Structure 1
């Protein structure tokens, strides 16, 4: 089924209020989707997480458990891969600072 290094299969559908709030962020760089997949490693500790919106150096992540969800402003993870496997591969972690589990570049694709 799932093994270490794979992404968590948890999903969430955002409320209308959360969608509207993310769409109204100044200088937003991404379209807002109503549904999100957890971007953390399978069997991680703590709440699930997915990038909800990005504006320059500011990121808002949707964090959720079985009973609640929130949108939090976070700092990007400073993790950098020592040597990319292939030229042009992203060598920066695309998760938030202090995330549980492996860096995004060590996980399977979305």
Structure 2
């Protein structure tokens, strides 16, 4: 197994002007906006730090900054002095022709497929809705009704009590949902909320979730 190279990881927050630039184009955004950007280049790279800030309508906007936080001399002034619309790197992993470099064209250091992985951008609300709609189109009617009923339940007040659920049933469901949340980003928010409700009900009935879990393990 080939050892992957470390990434730089230097962080830089977006300025208010840069945040405004992206928020004004929220309907085009392909992933959730992170106010702090982390350099995606290889550790100890030359030149300026660079991180993907947002993808708008197929155009990748990269934030570039110097070691002292200054703007790079080649930065364009469109939408913020440190923001650069850069083309994708054309390199392909020689060991896997299906894997392309996720960095920008003519970047410093190694290609992304030789670097340690970094967290994938979370899709924007619009793209999550598109993915959810696509998933629902493949659901059986009973599956879709169950999903809609679950979503409706999660919109109830936080203090709502789960009916007809024993402590052991709640514990089993909580364990399964917690595992599911770690495997599937699309339902993570719903799962975390539901797990919180389940644990709250157990505590309200005098049951400690941790003690119950250890007793049933």
The Cα shift of 1:59 comes to 0.8
Q: How many residue pairs end up in the alignment?
A: 102
The Cα shift of 1:32 comes to 1.1
* Distance change >3 Å, CA 56–CA 80, structure 1 → 2: farther
Contact 1:53 1:61 in 2 (8 A): yes
CA RMSD, aligned part only? Answer: 1.7
Q: How does 1:29-108 map to 2 (within 5 A)?
A: 29-65=30-66, 66-69=68-71, 70-84=82-96, 91-108=99-116
Q: Which has the larger radius of gyration?
A: 2
**Which of the pair is proportionally richer in helix?**
2
Q: Any idea what SS the aligned residue of 1:50 has?
A: strand
Residue by residue over 1:38-85, the C-alpha shift from the partner in whole angstroms, topping out at 9 and shown as x without a partner, is 00000111100000111343111000011424001110111111223x
Q: Within 1, Cα distance between the matches of 2:24 and 2:113? A: 30
The Cα shift of 1:17 comes to 1.1
The Cα shift of 1:96 comes to 0.3
Q: Within 1, Cα distance between the matches of 2:8 and 2:112? A: 12
TM-score, normalised relative to structure 2: 0.44
Q: Within 2, Cα distance between the matches of 1:9 and 1:32? A: 17
Q: Within 2, Cα distance between the matches of 1:12 and 1:28? A: 20
Residue 87 (structure 1) aligns with: none
Q: Within 1, Cα distance between the matches of 2:52 and 2:45? A: 16
* Distance change >3 Å, CA 95–CA 10, structure 1 → 2: same
Q: Any idea what SS the aligned residue of 2:28 has?
A: coil
Q: Any idea what SS the aligned residue of 1:21 has?
A: helix
Q: Any idea what SS the aligned residue of 1:53 has?
A: strand
**Which of the pair is proportionally richer in strand?**
1
